[in-house]
A and B are shown apart, each in its own frame.
Chain A
Amino acid sequence: MAVKPMQVVCYLNQFFGQLGGEEKAGVGPQVVDGAVGAARAVQQALGDAGTVVATVICGDNYAAEQAERAVAEMVALVAAARPDLVVAGPAFLAGRYGVACGALCAAVQAALKIPTVTGMHAENPGVELHRRQVYIVQTSAEAARMLDEVKRLVALGTKLARGEAIGAPTAEGYFARGVTRNVVAGASAADRAVAMLLEKLAGRPFASEVPRPAFPPVAAPRLAKTLEGATIALVTDGGLVPKGNPDGIEALNATRYGAYSIEGKAGLDAAQYDNPHRGYDTTWVKQDPHRLVPVDVARELEQSGAIGKLHETVYSTVGVATTLAHSARMGAEIAEKLRAAGVDAVILTST
């Protein structure tokens, strides 16, 4: 079956677009019909499969110093050409260029729903900035083997443009985008686990199937005052909610949290609270909410003067299967509110 030839737009910087060197780095986006400069390699790699209909060129400094404007202008130029695929770069180790390639690809995908591909060296800052959104083919540091590198970009780009299945990062040569996809492996998980253990026992290299999470370490700040003068708040991810769950906090995969007043309360009356948390046995917490949120003891400490004051709002969410993104957002929002309210320290109870 004959496949319709693709229309491709290339993006290059001033150097690869043959406008000039660093002295031309300030020029704004312009478009040239057909393939110029490094885009000729793209045309060569495409062969009969497609045509480079236009080359968008922009100076590195312009792209770096007025990033938003540059991207918007280039997206407009791409839109006018209505291509099936955008090939940006490859940028190799050129930092400003790599960041611009990634940003343009991400914007084109988002605004125009046109597939894109770019390429750069592992240490190009554009990789870390954009690999989650954009297919970035791994290249060498310098443009010594331009055609070979471009062929790999075009091969992946062709698959993307045709909507074909994309293989694993190692097979296709792109930087892992940090997303997971279910596939069917060649052996059962049990067989793979035993094989991996034998490699590990023998001191040989093994490839774990799950990346270790890179949780940034969070150092506990020092309390600048004595406890006797401090305002203490209670925060939990154990799912305490007032009866009826007025904020509709999800039983798992939570995206919401609640702020519940304990003003005038010496303790929590079990009859007035509930717990939608699906990640642990909530029997005992429903029986006595203080097992999760110790308002009773905190009030005693407040009365005796051991702590300065108990903050009158308890923050609560459900911490089960919550995404890192939502956890970080909710944590930041709660911390901001606590800080604005003059809270000095938090007792965070989890389950």
Chain B
Amino acid sequence: MRLELCWSDVEEVVAASPTRLVGKRLEVDLEALRALLSADPRLTGIRLDLVHPGERCRIGRVFDVVAPRAKLDGGEDFPGVLGGVAKAGHGRTLALGGVAVVATDQQTASVGTLAVIDMAGPNAALSAFGATHNLVISAWPAPGTERSDYLAAVRLAALKTAVRLAQTAREAEPNRVEIFALPPSPRVPPELAHLPRVAYIFQIHSHQRPTGLDEGILYGDPVRRMLPTIVHPNEVLDGAVLRGFMGRSVTTWATQNHPMIRALYAQHGRTLWFAGVVVTVAQATEPERVRSAFLAAGLVAHTLGADGAVFTKIGGGAPHVDMAQAAAQCEALGVKTTAVVEDMSTDGSAEGMLLFDFPGVDALVNVGSSQELLTLPAMDRVVGADDLAPRLLGETRATYGTLCGAIEQVGSTRVMAEVR
């Protein structure tokens, strides 16, 4: 399967009509976009703001971040959620670099957990979204709209916007084209047969909370009874997997630019053979967890024939243990593993970093502690959270977990907890 990401780099984003890409300047007709998004009866009072790197601006109430993408040929946009259900991961997809769509959640009850993005100051460098031009969507639920429907509508608005923006590159000559081509897993050329076969086990959701009916995560499916299954890595890169509504420390943007899949592609044919991707969910009960762990390990060891496997998780403690159980099952089958974990300690002690100790699961990389405190410096403007502006304008204490994009559990970030 072969996917081409046709990148157009954007260095400037301005409000202007019509929506179009002029060289490296993206002009956005905010009024027309607002009209497009307002067609959803679940949303009301839609507001769109543009914020830019270096601006002393803080985005509040961040719900998810989406990378602008649009299919040029070979499939549907965000299949199963925005576009029709169709196989993703092949053909050509338009991608804008330097721009992100930020969806906000105006209903978050606990402001302590709301995510922020800083466009300037020291925190801007910790998150990918401090360096992108961001189109921020604020929308409120229409009367009678349930919470899950509201979140589904907000996410859909972000996806529509992402497609609309990327479509401006339809006529543009891309600045670069990234090619992701991976042959069927068993077809290894003899001269590369010595390379270790490596699989990626991607936990795409945690059932610590039940998913809503419209909470499409895999090709629009809310993955309620999902068992481990194999997907082509291109499907993940091309919009088949979206973040659920409650995924902490993970964005859809990170999944669209999946760092682990990119890292494995980068080494493919050189130091390893990328054997494939297994998607799993963190289960809610022990029998489900055990079943999922050995099924995932079986796919990795027996179907993909992997020698090694990398794991990531989504969410808190239960997904952390769920992932480790699957890794332990792999180790028991002779598959060497590494796993990316978040520092789970809530008191900053090294003893509390990990919630498991399974044989062989001894090679761990971490994405830092979301509990560690950091300072949000004073800003000039708050976007996406008008009601919280008085609090978010001034200097305030927060945690790394509050800063959207500082800790991405799929491994895009460089923040790590060091034992001292």
Chain A positions within 8 Å of B, measured between CB atoms, are: 166, 168-169, 176-194, 196-198, 200-201, 206, 208-215, 253, 279-281, 283, 320-325
Contacts and interface: CB of A to CB of B under 8 A. Distances in A.
B414 A193 contact: no
A232 to B, nearest CB: 22
Contacts of B410: 190
Interface in B296-347: 307-310, 316-318, 336-341, 343-347
A322 B346 contact: yes
Q: From B310, B350, B354, name the one whose CB has the most chain A CB atoms within 10 angstroms.
A: B350
A182 B420 contact: no
A214 B351 contact: yes
Interface residues of B, number: 65
Interface in B361-417: 362-369, 372, 374, 400, 408, 410-417
Contact of A280 (B208, B347, B411, B416): B208
B354 A181 contact: no
Closest 10 CB pairs of A and B: A190-B411, A190-B259, A189-B411, A210-B364, A180-B417, A178-B350, A190-B260, A197-B338, A193-B365, A323-B347
Interface string B236-273: 00000000000000000000000110111001000110
Contacts of A179: 348-350, 419-420
A189 B367 contact: yes
A194 B364 contact: no
Given A176-B420, A189-B367, A184 B317 contact: no
B418 A168 contact: yes
A185 B264 CA distance: 19
B274 to A, nearest CB: 10
A323 B263 contact: no
B353 interface: yes
B372 A201 contact: no
A180 B369 contact: yes
A180 B353 contact: yes
B210 A281 contact: yes
Contacts of A215: 357
B350 A182 contact: no
A201 B353 contact: no
Nearest to A207: B363
Nearest to A211: B350
A210 B349 contact: no
Interface of B: 126, 196, 198, 207-210, 259-260, 262-264, 267, 271-272, 284, 307-310, 316-318, 336-341, 343-354, 357, 362-369, 372, 374, 400, 408, 410-420
Nearest to B361: A212
Given A169-B420, A180-B418, A281-B210, 6 more contacts: A179-B348, A197-B337, A198-B267, A198-B272, A280-B208, A324-B349
A196 B365 CA distance: 8
Nearest to B419: A176
B266 to A, nearest CB: 8
B416 A193 contact: no
Contacts of A177: 420
A159 B310 CA distance: 39
B125 to A, nearest CB: 8
A281 B284 CA distance: 7
Given A179-B348, A188-B411, A320-B316, A197 B416 contact: no
Contacts of A281: 207-210, 284
Nearest to B406: A182
Given A189-B411, A190-B340, A320-B317, A181 B272 contact: no
Q: From A183, A193, A213, name the one whose CB has the most chain B CB atoms within 10 angstroms.
A: A193
A200 B310 CA distance: 11
A184 B403 CA distance: 15
28 contacts: A168-B420, A169-B419, A180-B418, A180-B419, A180-B420, A181-B372, A181-B417, A182-B368, A182-B417, A183-B418, A185-B414, A189-B413, A190-B310, A191-B263, A191-B411, A193-B260, A193-B411, A197-B198, A197-B309, A200-B308, A201-B272, A209-B365, A210-B354, A280-B318, A320-B317, A321-B316, A321-B344, A321-B346
B412 A188 contact: yes
A200 B346 CA distance: 30
A181 B348 CA distance: 8
Contacts of B316: 279, 320-321
Contact of B341 (A186, A188, A194, A210): A210
Contact of B260 (A185, A194, A196, A212): A194
B263 A194 contact: yes
Given A182-B369, A190-B340, A283-B210, A213 B357 contact: yes
A182 B372 contact: yes
B350 A180 contact: yes
A197 B309 CA distance: 8
Contacts of B259: 188-191
